[in-house]
Amino acid sequence: MPKLNQDSLQKIDFTLNGVAETGTAEPRMLLSDFLRNVMGVTGCHVGCEHGVCGACTVQIDGKAQRSCLTLAVQVAGRKVDTVESLAGRENPLTDLQQAFKTHHGLQCGYCTPGILMSTSEFLDRNPNPTEEEVRDMLSGHLCRCTGYAGIVNAIMATIEERQGKAAAE
């Protein structure tokens, strides 16, 4: 890994939500700040900046990661997906997003993008989890509004629906 001068701006070429992008950042800039304040991707929310609350979770090369515990320079050459990647601005909501709507899985919506990014990766890896496993996965995210029941119900409903579809095919 090259040694970076702390005051020099680094050029960061990376893939953001499927599009090749370039931005600049000092070596110490957090990925969360870079996404929000340099790239203008404000769906990535900052809740604690010490890795506990999970609001800033994004996917880096397909894996859910805390963008507040990642430096911007670390994503050079990599693929970063934020909540804006799920349905984009105008496509229909994904089944998971729609389930959050149906089951009232969000209130203020501040923690939601992080939860969606963790959950979508989790369900790719583990399409048939138990409720206990879902709650365990969610324990990396703090939500103050919902008491989690709506979130859990939305995810369980998505799993059920996907299984129904898979069985029908």
Partner 1 sequence: MNEVYKPEKFVGKPIERVEDEALLRGVARYADDYPARLDTRHAAILRSPHAHAEIVSIDVSEALAQPGVVCVITGDDLLEYVDPFLNIVKAPMKLWPLAVERVRYVGEAVVLVVAMDRYIAEDAVDLIQVEYKLLKPAVKPEFAASEEAPVIHTECDSNVLSDREFTYGDPDKAFEECDQKVEIEIDFPRSSITPMENFVVMADYHPAENVYDVLSNFQGPFTVHPVMCRALRVKNTGLRLRTPANTGGGFGIKVAIFPYIVLMAIASRIAGKPVKWVEDRLEHLSSATAAPNRIVKIEAAAMKDGKVTAFRLDQLDDYGAFLRAPMPGPLYRMHGVTTGSYEIPNLYVRNRLVMTNKSPSGMVRGFGGPQMYFGIERVMHRVAIELGLDPLDVIEKNLISANAFPYHAAAGGVFDSGNYQAVVALAKKEGKLKELMERRDKARAEGKLYGIGYTAVTEPTHSNMGYITTILTKEERAKRSPTMGTNSNATVSVDPFGGVSCSTEVPPMGQGHATLMAQIVAEQLGLQPTEISCNMELDTQKDKWSIAAGNYSARFTSGPAVAVQMAAKMMRQKLAEIAAPNLNIPVEEVEFGNNLIFARDNPDNFLKFYRVAGTAHWSPASLPDGMAGGLSESAVWTPRELTAPDEQDRINTSLVYGFNFDFCGVEIDRDTGEVKIDHYVTAHDAGTILNPLIAHGQILGSYSHGVSEALYEEFVYGDDGSFKSGTFADYLVPSATEVPEPMVLHVETPSPLTPLGAKGLADGNCMSTPVCIANAVSDALDNIKDIQLPLFPSRVSELIHGDEPPPPERLSQAAEETPAKTSSGKSSAITGTGQSMVPADPQTVWDTLLDPIKLAVVIPGCHGLDEVAENDYRAEITLGAGPVRGKFLAHVKLSDLNEPKSVTLAGGLDGPLGSSQGEGRVRLEAVEGGTQVSYEYSVEISGKVAAVGSRLIEGGARVVVNQFFSRLIKQIETPGSVTAGEAGTPSLFQRILQWLGIN
- The residue range among 73-81, 122-130, 132-140, 157-165 that interacts with partner 1, by the rule CB under 8 A, is 132-140
Decide if residue 23 touches partner 1 (CB under 8 A). no
- The residue range among 73-81, 84-92, 118-126, 157-165 that interacts with partner 1, by the rule CB under 8 A, is 84-92
Half-sphere exposure of 54 (CA within 13 A, CB side): 19
Of these, 16, 80, 123, 143, which contacts partner 1 (CB under 8 A)? 143
* Token pair 């957090």: residue: 30
DSSP 8: S
Q: How far is the CB of 157 from partner 1 (least distance, A)?
A: 14
| Structure-token pair, residue 155 | 């995810």
Of these, 57, 59, 67, 82, which contacts partner 1 (CB under 8 A)? 82
Q: End-to-end CA distance of the chain, in Å? A: 47
- Nearest Cα residue to 45 out of 119, 115, 146, 136: 115
Decide if residue 76 touches partner 1 (CB under 8 A). no
* Token pair 């994904």: residue: 94
Decide if residue 47 touches partner 1 (CB under 8 A). yes
**Spatial contact of 92 and 152, defined as CB atoms under 8 Å apart:** no
The count of residues in the chain is: 169
Decide if residue 48 touches partner 1 (CB under 8 A). yes
Residue 63 or 101 having the CB closest to partner 1? 101
Decide if residue 74 touches partner 1 (CB under 8 A). no
